[in-house]
């Protein structure tokens, strides 16, 4: 009963902090303290509780290293003109009557190399928002298209921190996960394309504002050299080099492009690495093409560490045994993927972060999946197809709340985030079709295991 009360209290604190704009880290730390006290009250020694917290936090070391490199990569890609090249040529192909469709496609294009939803929204997302406002397009559908594209990359990119976290927590191969994600993600991508094509004429762009596009060459030398860091990353990924090394080589390439092609001073490039890229001036280009750096990822790193420590405590202390039992029973009854959806709605709502939901889903579903004969790869795919996309649809979860705040968009924008909606719906529809085709008798254990 005490655990249920603590769960309700933590849920209240997390939701309240999200509504009031208080960093999620604070209620997480309060939750860690409250549950630690309860663990001690249940008979665990304080030093054992500390060990539980540390055991969870230690699992994030590989993720934290990649977070640091991602921050460097974003800053260096900005200073090398890589992102500017993508934006410059991407915005030139926009058709006014298909603006929402191009918003989705361009955001996907940028999010794949970046691998971060927040970074994508902060770059190409802000550019598209400026164009939408100047062309009298409602913000909600534009933000929905941007959010869909941002999470297409957040889910499918080899540089994605969420993909790396899922791989680390489930003990699976990142590249193998990405290949499996393409199989389930591409149908949702095509359906989202069709939906954005269908509604784009309803929300046309009154006029294409080329001011931003025309301003890019004033700050960057737009040439084929801008694509060198992206090409290096793609080649190393194709060669299946560990992602952190692939990104490091891309960083090195971007450094030299920024230095010798863009001719930025070493101080500017060093600032891009540490605290983020920043251009001088007050125009639209300096306002939009900025950010990245190691400090850009600091908040995400602290949340990951705190979430993992919390998860380590819950997993080793036995405090959530009742939840584990209930979820295991639910998984046996309704199947693996549907159970992953329900568990996600619980963990993503309670944890208010994509990170904690990933960690908790891994812990809560590992044993039930194994009992159904599912592999670690199955679990990793289901987490990608539930937590990563559904967390952003929960209004108080930072996965969606922060991008919406960056875009100054209403909550109704979530209704237009078609990619996140269609992915789980198509997975469930596919499972239903497979079940109907089975020759096994309805309700059999084998039939449930298929789900």
* Amino acid 292: pLDDT: 82
Q: pLDDT for 388-432, tens place per residue?
A: 999 999 877 778 877 887 787 888 999 999 999 999 999 999 888
* Amino acid 450: pLDDT: 45
Question: Higher pLDDT residue, 94 or 203?
Answer: 203
User: End-to-end CA distance of the chain, in Å?
Assistant: 32
Structure-block tokens of residue 448: 């449930």
User: Which DSSP helix (H) or strand (E) runs through 73?
Assistant: helix 61-80
* Amino acid 20: pLDDT: 77
Confidence of residue 255 (pLDDT cuts 50, 70, 90): very high
Q: pLDDT for 227-241, tens place per residue?
A: 999 899 888 877 878
Instruction: Tell me: pLDDT of 448 over 70.
Output: no
Q: pLDDT for 124-181, tens place per residue?
A: 787 788 778 767 889 999 999 999 999 998 888 887 878 888 998 899 988 899 999 9
Give percent of the chain with pLDDT exceeding 70: 94
Q: What is the mean pLDDT of the chain?
A: 85
Distances in Å between the Cα of 328 and the Cα atoms of 248, 288, 322, 385 are: 41, 47, 10, 19
Structure-block tokens of residue 237: 């990924």
Query: What whole-number distance in Å separates Cα of residue 331 and Cα of residue 339?
Result: 5
Query: What whole-number distance in Å separates Cα of residue 9 and Cα of residue 308?
Result: 20
Structure-block tokens of residue 31: 């939750």
* Amino acid 31: pLDDT: 87
Q: Which residues contact 277 (CB under 8 A, 6 or more apart)?
A: 75, 76, 78, 79, 268, 271, 289, 290, 291, 292, 293
* Amino acid 19: pLDDT: 73
Distances in Å between the Cα of 111 and the Cα atoms of 107, 118, 125 are: 6, 9, 10
User: Which DSSP helix (H) or strand (E) runs through 163?
Assistant: helix 161-170
Distances in Å between the Cα of 107 and the Cα atoms of 37, 86, 384, 408 are: 45, 10, 19, 17
Query: What whole-number distance in Å separates Cα of residue 392 and Cα of residue 398?
Result: 7
* Amino acid 238: pLDDT: 77
Distances in Å between the Cα of 379 and the Cα atoms of 213, 222, 361 are: 43, 43, 9
* Amino acid 449: pLDDT: 46
* Residue-wise burial string across 133-143, b where 16 or more C-beta atoms lie within 10 A, e elsewhere: eebebbbbbbb
| Alpha helices per DSSP H over 318-397 | 321-334, 336-351, 354-371, 376-384, 387-390
Question: Higher pLDDT residue, 109 or 288?
Answer: 109
Give percent of the chain with pLDDT exceeding 90: 39
Instruction: Tell me: pLDDT of 1 over 70.
Output: no
Question: Higher pLDDT residue, 416 or 92?
Answer: 416
- C-alpha 323 chain-centroid distance: 26
* Amino acid 141: pLDDT: 95
Question: Higher pLDDT residue, 294 or 161?
Answer: 294
Question: Higher pLDDT residue, 258 or 163?
Answer: 258
Q: Decide: 232 and 143 in contact? Cβ < 8 Å.
A: no
Question: Higher pLDDT residue, 434 or 271?
Answer: 271
Distances in Å between the Cα of 301 and the Cα atoms of 47, 157, 419 are: 25, 19, 27
3-state class (DSSP) for residue 282:
coil
Q: pLDDT for 35-85, tens place per residue?
A: 899 999 888 999 999 999 998 888 778 778 877 887 898 889 889 998 888
């Amino acid at each position: 009963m005490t655990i249920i009360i603590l769960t309700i209290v933590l849920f209240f604190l997390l939701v309240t902090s999200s509504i009031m704009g208080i960093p999620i880290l604070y209620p997480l730390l309060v939750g860690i303290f409250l549950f630690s006290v309860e663990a001690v009250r249940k008979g665990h020694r304080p030093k054992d509780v500390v060990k539980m917290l540390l055991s969870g936090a230690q699992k994030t070391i590989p993720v934290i290293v990649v977070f640091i490199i991602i921050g460097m990569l974003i800053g260096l890609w900005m200073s090398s003109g890589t992102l500017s090249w993508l934006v410059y040529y991407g915005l030139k192909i926009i058709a006014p009557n298909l603006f929402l469709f191009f918003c989705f496609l361009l955001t996907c294009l940028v999010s794949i190399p970046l691998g971060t939803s927040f970074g994508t929204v902060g770059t190409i997302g802000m550019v598209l928002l400026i164009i939408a406002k100047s062309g009298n397009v409602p913000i909600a559908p534009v933000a929905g298209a941007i959010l869909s594209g941002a999470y297409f990359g957040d889910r499918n990119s080899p540089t994605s921190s969420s993909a790396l976290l899922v791989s680390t927590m489930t003990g699976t191969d990142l590249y193998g996960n990405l290949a499996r994600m393409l199989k389930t993600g591409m149908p949702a991508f095509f359906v989202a394309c069709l939906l954005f094509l269908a509604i784009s004429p309803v929300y046309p762009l009154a006029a294409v504002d080329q001011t931003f596009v025309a301003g890019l060459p004033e700050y960057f030398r737009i040439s084929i050299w801008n694509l060198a860091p992206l090409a290096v990353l793609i080649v190393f990924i194709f060669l299946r080099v560990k992602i952190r090394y692939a990104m490091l080589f891309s960083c090195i390439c971007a450094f030299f492009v920024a230095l010798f092609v863009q001719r930025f001073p070493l101080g500017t490039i060093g600032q891009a690495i540490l605290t983020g890229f920043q251009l001088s001036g007050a125009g639209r280009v300096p306002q939009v093409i900025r950010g990245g750096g190691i400090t850009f990822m600091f908040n995400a790193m602290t949340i990951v560490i705190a979430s993992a420590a919390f998860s380590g405590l819950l997993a080793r202390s036995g405090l959530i045994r009742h939840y584990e039992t209930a979820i295991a029973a639910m998984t046996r009854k309704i199947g693996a993927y549907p159970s992953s959806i329900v568990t996600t709605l619980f963990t993503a709502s309670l944890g208010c972060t994509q990170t904690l939901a990933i960690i908790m889903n891994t812990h809560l579903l590992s044993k039930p999946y194994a009992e159904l004969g599912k592999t670690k790869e199955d679990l990793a795919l289901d987490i990608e197809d539930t937590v990563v996309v559904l967390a952003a649809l929960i209004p108080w979860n930072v996965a969606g709340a922060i991008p919406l705040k960056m875009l100054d968009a209403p909550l109704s924008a979530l209704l237009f985030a078609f990619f996140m909606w269609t992915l789980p719906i198509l997975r469930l529809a596919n499972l239903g079709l497979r079940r109907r085709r089975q020759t096994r008798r309805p309700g059999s254990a084998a039939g449930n295991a298929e789900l």
